[in-house]
Structure 1
Amino acid sequence: MTALYLPSLVRIGGGALNELPAALKQAGLSAPFIITDAFMAQSGLLDRVKALLAGAGFRSGAFPNAVPDPTVASVEAALAALKQGEYDCVIGLGGGSPIDTAKMVAVLAKHGGTPSQLKVPHVQDDAGLPIIAIPTTAGTGSEATRVTVITDEKTDEKMLCAGYAYLPHIAIVDYELTLTMPRRLTADTGLDALTHALEAYVSRLASPFTDALALAAMRRIWHALPVVCAEPSNREARAQVMQGAFEAGMAFSNASVALVHGMSRPIGAHFHVAHGLSNAMLLPEITAWSVTGAEARYATCARVMGIVSEKTDDHTACEALVIALRLRNRELDVPTPQSYGLEEGRWNDLLPLMAEQALASGSPANNPRVPAHAEIVALYRKVWA
């Protein structure tokens, strides 16, 4: 038996943002509180959304100060702003960070408590305020997932919080909002989405439903991501990556992620590397280490992405997949932790703790090949340079 969790109402395609008022009315909602970041406020997108809502008769409030890798302090500030008015839902507008902030605020607004009380192994299924996700990047898939990640800035721990309560009720997936994304952000978020798809497919919790989504996402993202990095205004390629990110989000929300994500979160927490970039740094070498645990599955990934032909044997296909992932990182200028400028001494000192935190997240247990603590430390050392 497989349990599936998906957004209730989805508007997808160019111009989908204009459907926001209609979707809110369909859901019986009337007073949204918008959580976004300073960039979205300065770019004029927040004003556009507020005008769209006002024109349809909605009253709304906004918190424009969400931070990258949302912290407990930023969640508390957003929650305090929400409590100054009467709102019946929360809109996350922006990349994964504003959406993750909105998810946590929506739960705390109804149930109280703190993010640290809600981190896994706790599962928060009892819903908070309805969540509306409007992604402006094509990568995190947060608009389709029942997880949020909040950083405890006092301990540098990225707390994974999971449960039905974090699943957006409404997802507005409009690729036109990604047309102005810079190349670095496009590459990192796109590789994040590719990681979601690949890990969902090889996860020990995969199902035929998630397999179909993950394979579709891989095919789209692998072919379209280099195009959007080279031609930012290519609408068809942007649409493909956006849809792929959404499909990958639905896939990993129901099949979970694996070792790449488990190792990625501590890098983000301790060194403040963006989540998509830390995933991209890890993906080729973690895949190389993991393939023996599910050779047939990794080989299927290589075939679906067009890296090898349908007739290629599994072992050869897996070797080609790893080589292609390394070349794609080079093509998209993904740095190593060393070339990115992280401090080597601190990196080495933190390896035992980072490996411990990776294991504690639970994600490595879903990997086709499950690592011990010492093996994670060795993998961190391997990806360093």
Structure 2
Amino acid sequence: MNVGISNFRTPQSILFGRGAFEKIGEEATCRGKNALIVSDKVMERLGYVNKCVDRLAVHGVRTKVYLGVDSEPTDHHVAEALELIKQEKCDLLISLGGGSCIDTAKAVSVLAANGGRINDYAGAWGKFAIKPPIPHIAVPTTAGTGSEATDVTVITIVSTDVKLMVKQPAFMPTAAIVDPLLTISSPKHITAATGVDALSHAVEAYLSKKANPMSDTLALSAMKHIAANLYQAYNDGENLVAREAMSLGALQAGMAFSNASVCLVHGMSRPIGALFHVPHGYSNAMLLPAVLEFSKNHCVDRLADLGRFFAPDKRELSNEALAYFAVESVKGLCDVLNIPNLKGWGIDRGKFAASISKMAQDALDSGSPANNPIEPTKHEIEDLYRICYDYDFSVKKHAY
């Protein structure tokens, strides 16, 4: 762990708790008067978009709505929303939905103020946002990505099938409103995928070579909340205690990985999403157990901490045994949450095999694998992709 100086970033304001969404008008009115809501058709159908419009109107905030985002944000979504914010001269962005809506709004907030395309801001030599972004209030409706509290946006460039991760302070939302009541509408499969996504954020932040004392505190708390409550939230979507714990865990995991970085799982998952259109939460879940098995011997003590959260009654076990138990518990959790492997998702074996070399190189180019406890070679990443295609999540006995 790096115990040197660390710069810890979060939104200026975080409203957390049941009913926090009711405060959207009050939070918005001090940020702007003409808002663009970035959301999707599902949020509109659930009534969340109209509720947001109504709450803003009560406080004198005018609104325009963009509903073009779907399961994975692309540069096309960004361009469409950017054109709308310019046409309507909006001075405030509100993202309402999952990570795709939030990531799209992050890109728009920066580009509207600084110009260019999202591609221009990627990489070590990318453009740096100088002008303050358009104020952005992020309202997540899933307990997963933690994007409401990160300075990262992930956008797929359609022309190249590359999932671009861009990280700069300007992409951090101005404010986050995290209301667990909004997650009750999440169906079981979304609860499962986003929940394992949040777990992967917490675990990778804790295992990252860039981890620091602040990120560790949040990552440990997030792992504890998620390990104890994800299956309960999945099994009983009306369980408000579990939903609230998952929302808190996802938020904490987002803050943790934004300040400590992610590792090999995320490096490998982005190419799968870009080439085969697998939602980010699922692609992380499909990879997490196998990557933990690959990394285990190089992070035994830290994986043992995860094992203790899955089995608080097994503290007498050695760290080696607890690390093994942690990996098996993650496998078992994915199994009972009905996470499919890549074959089960329906990805053609031949097309997947033909893409492995490109995916491995794209993963390395992202920089995330370099943060892993053991940095993999391209050949090792290729082997992991092959393992994950047919991966068996089953274990002899589940703890759930």
In the comparison of the two structures, how many residue pairs are matched?
A: 384
Deviation at 1:66, TM superposition (A): 1.4
Distance in 1 between the 2:233 and 2:50 partners?
Answer: 27
Per the alignment, residue 98 of structure 1 pairs with 101
Distance in 2 between the 1:272 and 1:124 partners?
Answer: 29
Per the alignment, residue 360 of structure 1 pairs with 365
Distance in 2 between the 1:62 and 1:180 partners?
Answer: 21
Amino acid at match of 1:80: E
Q: Conserved in 2, the CA contact under 8 Å of 1:218 and 1:305?
A: no
Secondary structure in 1 matching 2:62: coil
Q: Conserved in 2, the CA contact under 8 Å of 1:307 and 1:320?
A: no
Q: Deviations over 1:225-268 (max 9, x none)?
A: 11111111111110000110000000000000000000000000
Distance in 2 between the 1:356 and 1:44 partners?
Answer: 42
Amino acid at match of 2:57: A
Secondary structure in 2 matching 1:201: helix
The match for 1:336 among 315, 318, 341 is: 341
Q: Deviations over 1:268-301 (max 9, x none)?
A: 0000001000100001010010011221111112
Q: What are the ranges of 5 or more consecutive residues in structure 1 without an aligned counterpart?
A: none
1:1-385 pair list within 5 angstroms: 1-25=5-29, 27-121=30-124, 122=126, 124-126=128-130, 127-306=132-311, 309-385=314-390
Distance in 2 between the 1:367 and 1:144 partners?
Answer: 22
Give me the CA root mean square deviation: 1.2
Deviation at 1:42, TM superposition (A): 2.1
Distance in 2 between the 1:50 and 1:22 partners?
Answer: 13
Amino acid at match of 1:233: E
Deviation at 1:322, TM superposition (A): 1.2
Amino acid at match of 1:309: K
Deviation at 1:198, TM superposition (A): 0.4
Q: Deviations over 1:30-52 (max 9, x none)?
A: 22211111111222211110000
Once superposed, which parts of structure 1, at least 4 consecutive aligned residues long, lie more than 6 Å away?
none
Secondary structure in 2 matching 1:168: coil
Amino acid at match of 2:78: V
Percent of pairs with identical residues:
41
Secondary structure in 1 matching 2:134: coil
Q: Conserved in 1, the CA contact under 8 Å of 2:120 and 2:127?
A: no
Q: Conserved in 2, the CA contact under 8 Å of 1:123 and 1:161?
A: no
Secondary structure in 2 matching 1:113: coil
Q: What are the ranges of 5 or more consecutive residues in structure 2 without an aligned counterpart?
A: 391-400
Q: Deviations over 1:329-379 (max 9, x none)?
A: 111111110111100001111101000000111110110010010000001
Distance in 2 between the 1:216 and 1:58 partners?
Answer: 37
Normalising by structure 2, what TM-score? 0.94
Distance in 2 between the 1:94 and 1:123 partners?
Answer: 28
Amino acid at match of 2:229: A
Normalising by structure 1, what TM-score? 0.97
Amino acid at match of 2:95: G
Distance in 1 between the 2:145 and 2:128 partners?
Answer: 20
